Chains A and B, each alone.
Chain A
């Protein structure tokens, strides 16, 4: 099924098309919002809200970008809105540390990975958002500027500042 057929199916109310769209994009949405949320419960809430909005607003999708990109922007909008409502950095750190020690130990030095998570969590929210969007999710500065409603230069400056903070935090490991 092509993307256009999928969209047409969803707009026609076909449950199979709705499920196919969900299956095709849920992992990316989940990964994205989980990194912003920092805990699985909140990530589940935001993933749910993202797809509810996607189904509600799909008729507004004009096809200017890939469907995945559009869904990603909905997810980021949901995450940004959620982050404004809840600012619980301490819990975020704790949950991140508790959830996946085995996975991180397998991939990187455990102390370094832990320090990295702590350093990212310690970033001010506007720095952390730009860092995650650019360096982890792969968005361009132009896309980030549109998503966050800031100038491109502001996005670049925030990324530079975020990286500098992270370099400082990880200096002992260099």
Chain B
């Protein structure tokens, strides 16, 4: 066997030995549709929220509170007498960025707390029966906030970002949940269990409801 024959044999063997199984067309199509539903409307969700003052308000209130806290924190830093240790321990750039980081952490902590309560209730409702329609509405509201946080500096924390992305996925699934689709409900709760989302969420939410003492991912 010469080199050309050997190479032809190699090509033929590679073709034959690497034959894929049939494509799971329907499963992949379903997943594509689900992903597009959860990712494409990201902008339109914000637009929808913007047309609804009550929802906007519920999203903006925590942000406004956090912004106020950040401002207060910043003013406090500016008016307090500087100590030598402040200058020794921190660079000017770090001092400039600290208040927004604190504000975003406060908002994130408040958001994670609300989401934990919601998912815990949802999980309990799923195990005993069908969650009611308010679950989907609440999921849509929390989903909008998750996306705002993902686009904010708070998401620069790698672990928080991963948690928010998981929450975005599960909240999008719940938001689209139809009452008659029991198998979808099982998929969501299985996903929650497999990803350990609730456990990670509980670890991330500060104990005692004191956002300033955030721990875990925060």
Residues in A lying within 8 Å of B, measured CB to CB: 19, 22-23, 26-27, 30-31, 34-35, 40, 43-44, 47-48, 51-52, 55-56, 96, 99-100, 103-104, 107-108, 112-114, 116-117, 120, 131-132, 135-136, 163, 166-167, 170, 174
Contacts and interface: CB of A to CB of B under 8 A. Distances in A.
Contact of B17 (A27, A30, A116): A116
Contacts of B31: 44, 48
B20 A35 contact: yes
A36 to B, nearest CB: 10
Interface residues of B, number: 27
Contacts of B19: 100, 103-104, 107
A117 B18 contact: yes
Nearest to A108: B16
A47 B32 CA distance: 9
Contacts, number: 92
Nearest to A159: B7
Centre residue among A47, A114, A174 by max chain B CB count within 10 A: A47
27 contacts: A19-B29, A22-B29, A26-B23, A26-B28, A27-B23, A34-B20, A43-B20, A44-B24, A44-B28, A48-B28, A51-B28, A52-B35, A55-B32, A56-B40, A99-B21, A100-B19, A103-B19, A104-B16, A107-B16, A107-B17, A112-B13, A113-B17, A120-B14, A120-B17, A136-B11, A167-B7, A174-B6
B28 A120 contact: no
Nearest to A117: B17
A47 B10 contact: no
Contacts of B11: 135-136
B78 interface: no
Contacts of B24: 40, 44
Given A47-B28, A48-B28, A135-B10, A120 B18 contact: yes
Nearest to A136: B14
A84 B14 CA distance: 23
A59 to B, nearest CB: 13
Interface string B105-145: 00000000000000000000000000000000000000000
A107 B20 CA distance: 13
B16 A55 contact: no
B27 interface: yes
B20 A167 contact: no
B1 interface: yes
Contacts of B186: none
B18 A170 contact: no
B25 interface: yes
A40 B13 contact: no
Contact of B7 (A96, A107, A132, A163): A163
Contacts of B94: none
Given A22-B32, A27-B23, A131 B14 contact: yes
Contact of A30 (B7, B9, B16, B20): B20
B28 to A, nearest CB: 5
A31 to B, nearest CB: 5
A153 B205 CA distance: 55
Contacts of B40: 56
